[in-house]
Amino acid sequence: MITLDIAGQRLEAEEGSNLGELFKRSYPQGFKEGVAAKLNGRVVDFMTPLRESGSLELIPVDSPEGLAVLRHSTAHLMASAVMKLFPEAKLAIGPAIEDGFYYDFDVDRPFSPEDLAAIEKGMHDIAQEDHAFVRGELKRDEALDRFKKQGEKYKAELVEGLPDPSVSTYTHSFFTDLCRGPHVTKTRFLKHFKLTSVAGAYWRGDSNRPMLQRIYGTAFPTQKQLEEHLQRIEEAKLRDHRRVGAALDLYSVHEEAGGGLIFWHPHGAAIRRTVEDFWKAEHLRRGYTLVYTPHIALVDLWKQSGHTEHYAQNMYFLKVDEKDYVLKPMNCPFHVLIYKGKKHSYRELPVRIGELGTVYRFERSGVLHGLARVRGFTQDDAHIFCTAEQVEGELRGVLDFTRFMLATFGFQHFKVELSVRDPKRKEDYLGSDAEWELAEGALERVVKESGLPYKRAEGEAVFYGPKIDIKIGDALGRDWQCSTIQFDFNLPRRFEVSYVGSDGQEHPAYMVHRALLGSLERFFATLIEHYGGDFPVWLAPVQVQLITIADAQVPYAAEIKELLLSKGIRVEADVREEKMGAKIRDAEMLKIPYMLILGRKELEERSVSVRSRKKGNEGALGLQAFVEKLVAEIESRQ
Ligand SMILES: [Zn+2]
Ligand SMILES: [Zn+2]
């Protein structure tokens, strides 16, 4: 006999009885709403035979687990529609993923958009026939035999890799799939889905194995949710930094120069310069010293830092004049050398050394992605050297600084993840218990005090120290990894980083790495997608576009341009012999915040007609008045 607790009720059932039947009897409303259940914390479907006692709860369809069941079941439905249309196709795997599902097929030719439409239609037809998902069990050898006979070589390989003596299958209509579950009970629950794309994918991600065709799709409990999701995908496509970057001529990548290496064009560079100037000014204001360090260093330095041991697969090595150099993958050892250039008294601490330091790290070409994943990038890096007593204050300062910076760039939503060591494996970490306790305690207190939502990730810390990562939410509600504050108990030991205490003795210093924006390249991608290329005036690559109506105003335009340039305003003049309407449209395409229309009247009155991107036509304004207003707006960084 099996005893179950369901929604406060205690229930007895025969071993092997069907979970769905049990649910229907004891909790009919829940059965109607639910897609699956959780038995002792594990997700199971209603077709699962009962084999253990414990607590059973219902999974609502819009919970992450419920959505995964819905989406994975839709993957089965898709596979059945594919098999109907392409009986020769061989099946690989079809899991639920974040935001949807996919299924991999071995087919003679890639699927076309027309194929996807036909498959989607087939899915709806099969779903409406309302087949039940029927769970079956086969002995491992039987399953192997059956898949081999059917020519399903991928399924056979999967079974071969399973240790279990028996495997479960799920069948709806004519279609049977090897699967552990869970699934919805009937195909009619699968209504609101969409196939979104198709791409090549190697079997088991191995480029030596066959290339399969992966169809991606998504499913939701309601049509409204599905449509909203599809709209978000469209919006994300429109904002894709690679698309916007090309349309606004912000940056490029050249295969002849190498993948993952970014060329910042004048308009992209203007934004970067603005970010850098702001970054430097704020660092100086907050007591950092700024440095520049070389791009290469002898391999011996990287041996001492431990990078050749732990990081070699990401490093570029150079041999010149019989000496081995490394293109720097990190700035840290360089800042340590600067710190160690002289003795530091406790009175001088904390020392905060910052640099916009360009580093190079090898990444496989398959993972490179626009500005977001590159091989050469500039970190907004800094290293803080301080005493134990100063740790908490420094962390508080860094977190406050981070929020200030990110809020200035228009980000309001933050999520913090605190990575601490696994308390059961303390011996695997470098540094003393006292150091770890101090660092983790200070990080957690500071994060708590900030009121930001945070998650404590046990065992996620790297071996040399705990850290916090800060993710920012953009205009579409997507998260971007941005800031990191990381303790290091490794480098100070390897380089004997110390200070002279009030007792006249040398003491090891605490060392914290921190990057507020992460890398300028990745942060630029975030900015582009957050604003969709429609930057606020202080960041806009061109802040003012001058538009002449006739040749008579060209000298006036030149005069205004010179005046604005002298105020540090980024201005361009469109003096082509085009119609005013065409010039306005072109400036709108470039999302320029202000257009100044210069005609006969403006020239006579020494005024400008202002067209603001945000507010539309603002009418005529004296030249000086406009300049003052604009300078104030830029300084406000709004
Ligand atoms: Zn399945
Ligand atoms: Zn560092």
Q: How far apart are CA 73 and CA 131, in angstroms?
A: 12
Place of tokens 């196709």: 89
E strand segments, 421-494: 454-458, 467-473, 479-488
Phi, psi of 12 (to 5 degrees): -110, 140
Q: What is the DSSP letter of 165?
A: S
Ligand sitting nearest the alpha carbon of 485? 2
| Backbone φ/ψ region at 86: left (φ over 0), alpha (ψ -120 to 50), beta | beta
Residue 491 CA, chain-centre distance (Å), reads: 28
Q: Which residues surround ligand 2, an ion (CB under 5 A)?
A: 332, 513
Q: How far apart are CA 615 and CA 329, in angstroms?
A: 46
Q: What is the DSSP letter of 373?
A: B
Q: How far apart are CA 559 and CA 557, in angstroms?
A: 5
Q: Which two tokens stand for residue 613?
A: 């991107």
State the distance from the centre of ligand 1 to the C-alpha of 144, rounded, in angstroms. Answer: 17
| HSE value, Cβ hemisphere, 13 Å, CA-based, for 42 | 10
3-state secondary structure string, 566-626?
HCCCCEEEECCCCCHHHHHHHHHHCCCCEEEEECHHHHHHCEEEEEECCCEEEEEEEHHHH
Contact 202, 239 (CB under 8 A): no
Ligand sitting nearest the alpha carbon of 305? 2
Please name every residue paired with 49 in a beta bridge, in sequence order, or none if there are none. 18
Q: How far apart are CA 267 and CA 511, in angstroms?
A: 37
Query: Could you confirm whether 192 is annotated as catalytic?
Result: no
State the distance from the centre of ligand 2 to the C-alpha of 352, rounded, in angstroms. Answer: 12
Query: Could you confirm whether 381 is annotated as catalytic?
Result: yes
Query: Could you confirm whether 332 is annotated as catalytic?
Result: yes
State the distance from the centre of ligand 1 to the C-alpha of 73, rounded, in angstroms. Answer: 6
Query: Could you confirm whether 361 is annotated as catalytic?
Result: yes
Give the strand pairing for 467-473 and 413-420.
Answer: antiparallel
- AA letter at 472: I
Q: What is the DSSP letter of 18?
A: B
Q: How far apart are CA 353 and CA 339, in angstroms?
A: 8
State the catalytic residue, choosing from 84, 135, 241, 513: 513
Report the SS3 class of residue 169.
strand
Report the SS3 class of residue 183.
coil
State the catalytic residue, choosing from 332, 375, 514, 553: 332
- Report pLDDT for 21: 77
Q: Which two tokens stand for residue 509?
A: 């210093």
For the chain, counts of helices (H) and of strands (E): 20, 33
Report the SS3 class of residue 70.
helix
State the distance from the centre of ligand 1 to the C-alpha of 32, rounded, in angstroms. Answer: 21
- Please state, in angstroms and as integers, the Cα–Cα distance from residue 216 to each residue in 112, 129, 244, 478, following that order: 13, 23, 24, 20
Please name every residue paired with 636 in a beta bridge, in sequence order, or none if there are none. none
The string of DSSP codes covering 193-256 is EEEEEEEEEEGGG-TTSPEEEEEEEEEESSHHHHHHHHHHHHHHHHH-HHHHHHHTT-EEE-TT
pLDDT along the chain (638 residues), means of 10: 82 82 70 76 85 86 91 97 96 94 96 96 95 92 92 94 91 93 90 95 92 96 95 92 97 96 98 98 98 97 93 95 96 97 96 98 93 97 97 96 96 95 90 94 96 94 95 90 94 95 95 97 97 97 97 96 97 95 95 96 95 93 95 95
Closest CA relative to residue 570, chosen from 243, 277, 246, 253: 277
- Please state, in angstroms and as integers, the Cα–Cα distance from residue 270 to each residue in 40, 57, 129, 248, following that order: 57, 56, 59, 12
Residue 181 CA, chain-centre distance (Å), reads: 29
- Report pLDDT for 299: 97
State the catalytic residue, choosing from 84, 229, 344, 383: 383
Closest CA relative to residue 178, chosen from 205, 148, 198: 148
Place of tokens 């020494």: 606
- Report pLDDT for 25: 74
Q: Which two tokens stand for residue 262?
A: 């970014």
- The residues near 233 (Cβ < 8 Å, ≥ 6 apart) are 196
- Report pLDDT for 42: 87
- Report pLDDT for 18: 79
Q: How far apart are CA 612 and CA 584, in angstroms?
A: 11
- Report pLDDT for 28: 66
Q: How far apart are CA 110 and CA 469, in angstroms?
A: 40
Query: Could you confirm whether 530 is annotated as catalytic?
Result: no
Q: Which two tokens stand for residue 288?
A: 């950092």
